[in-house]
Structure 1
Amino acid sequence: MPEGPSIVLLREEAMRFRHRTVRRVEGDSRQDIQRMVGRRVLDVRSWGKHFLLAFSGFSLWVHLMMFGSCRIDAPKDRPPRLALHFDTGSLYFYACSVRFIEGPLAAAYDWRADVMSPDWDPALARRKLRSAPEALVCDALLDQDVFAGVGNIIKNEVLFRIRVHPCTRVGDLPPRKLAQLVAQARAYSFDFLEWKRRFVLRRHWLVHRRRECPECGRHLELAHLGTRQRRTFWCGHCQARY
């Protein structure tokens, strides 16, 4: 599943269609996608893992789910879920979820929850975490209401960075560790973005899909943990369980 930084990159690439008019629409989506024909894109935005095209009165919402993708001017050899054609090029979406948001985007999202937004509010994230003390940190980091944009890679790497076991309960974290968790969720997301821009992201993974701990050399643990049962890599020696 593309994580927040990947959607930011898509947003940046799709900015070329801002203020452009949709000339033709195709795809097998069951939504009324033809409503976009003849409409001008007012803005290109993202929130967490959501890609957004704003029109007057409504917005297109796209989620790439687990295996979705987007291509610009380079269609695959199969029908898209949605394709938008402009005078200056085309956007193609595959294996994704598509719907419309009515009204202004400002009312649809709390932008303070997006870890990559300039409106990100770490104090709000800490308050939300304190309200769910029984949650495991491996689940909390994937909660899009708290950390919009954080996915499984970021989760694994952040927990290793702050040396916290993924099965630690949020309520058991010392205040210093809770603050580190929130800070690194954002910091690692921006590192992820920069590494992905330079096509070196995988070189910087310390535990995700790795076999040995880069700190102590011990074999890394791997299990599907938490209520989400997402694949989790961690070092049983270096990451403390509080």
Structure 2
Amino acid sequence: MPEGPSIVILREEVAAFTGKAVERAEGNSKLDKSRLVGQTVQSFRSWGKHFLIELDDVSLRIHLLLFGSYRINERKQSSPRLSLGFANGELNFYACSVQFIEGPLDEAYEWSADVMGDAWDSRAVLKKLRARPRLLACDALLDQTLFSGSGNIIKNEVLFRTRIHPLSLIGELPAAKLRELAKEVRVYSFDFLRWKREGKLKANWLAHTKTTCPRCKIPFVKAKSLGRSKRRAFYCERCQKRHGDSEKVSVNAPVAEE
């Protein structure tokens, strides 16, 4: 599943279509595609993993889900979910979710939650985190209402960087450690973006998909389905400290969120 930084790259790659009118709208999406023809692209925006196309009187929300993809000025052999044609090229989306958003985007989104956005507000996310003390750290970093754009790569890498065990309870983290966690999600997201542009993202992974802790030189724990989010996790039992009811929380039965 593409994470926030990858959607920022998509937004940048399609900039040439800004201000262009949609001349053709096709695909196997069940949306009324005829409504799009003749409308002008006012802007391309992103909120976390959502790619947003703002048109004259409606916006499109595209989520690439687990296996979605896109092509600019070229096509795959499979049928697109949505294909938009412009005078200067075309934009094709595959295996994704496509929805209309009625009304202003500023009324539909809380921009301060987007870890890649200019409106990111760390104080607001800290307030939300403190209100959910029984939330597991591994689940917090995948909660899009807290960290919009953070995905499994960001989760594993940030928890390793901050030396936080994924089964730690948010309410048990020291205040300084909680602030560090919130800050590092944004810092790592921009590292992710830079490495993705350079084609060096995987080369810079320290924990995600790795087998050995680069700090302790011992095997990582690999969990196939961790927390309520049930996503893969890679972590070190020695240097990533487990905060909270560690004897009451297990990989298979995480503490329920209050």
TM-score grouping bracket, smaller chain normalisation: over 0.9
Distance in 2 separating the partners of 1:158 and 1:113: 17
Supply the distance in 2 between the matched residues of 1:32 and 1:142 (Cα, whole angstroms): 32
CA distance in 1 between counterparts of 2:36 and 2:205 reads 40
Q: Which residue of 2 aligns with 1:52?
A: 52
The answer as to 2:157 corresponding to 1:173 is no
SS at match of 1:178: helix
- Correspondence list, 1:119-130, <5 A: 119-130=119-130
Partner of 1:151: 151
Structure 1 stretches of 5 or more lacking a match? none
1:158-185: CA deviation from partner (whole Å, max 9, x where unpaired): 0000000000000010001100110000
The alignment covers a number of residue pairs equal to: 242
Distance in 2, matches of 1:213 and 1:144, equals 28
Corresponding residue for 2:250?
none
State the Cα distance separating 1:70 from its structure 2 match.
1.0
1:184-195 equivalence runs, <5 A: 184-195=184-195
1:137 paired residue number = 137
CA distance in 1, matches of 2:77, 2:56: 32
Deviation track 1:58-82 (CA, whole Å, cap 9, x = no partner) reads 1011000000011101210111000
Q: How many Å separate the matches in 2 of 1:33 and 1:198? A: 36
Indicate whether 1:240 and 2:233 are aligned.
no
Distance in 2, matches of 1:43 and 1:33, equals: 19
Cα displacement (A) at 1:133: 0.4
Counterpart of 2:232 in structure 1 is 231
Instruction: Look up the SS of the partner of 2:207 in the other structure.
Output: coil
Q: Please give the alpha-carbon distance, in whole angstroms, between the structure 1 residues aligned to 2:32 and 2:134.
A: 42
Instruction: Please give the per-residue CA displacement for 1:140-173, whole angstroms capped at 9, x wherever unaligned.
Output: 0110001000000000000000000000000010
1:233, distance to aligned residue in structure 2 (A): 0.4
- Partner SS state of residue 53, structure 1: strand
**Residues in 1 aligned to 2:146 and 2:231: alpha-carbon distance in whole angstroms:** 17
Equivalent position SS for 1:90: strand
Helix, strand or coil at the partner of 2:184: helix
Identity of aligned residues (%): 54
Please report the TM-score for the alignment, with normalisation by the length of structure 2. 0.93
Indicate the SS of the match to 1:78.
coil
In structure 2, the gaps of 5 or more residues are 244-258
Which residue identity is paired with 1:116? M
DSSP-derived class of the 1:212 partner: coil
d(CA) in 1 for partners of 2:17 and 2:146?
30
What's the RMSD between the two structures over aligned residues? 0.6
Give the 5 Å matches for 1:1-242. 1-223=1-223, 224-242=225-243
Q: Deviations over 1:100-146 (max 9, x none)?
A: 00011111101000000010000000000001000000000110001
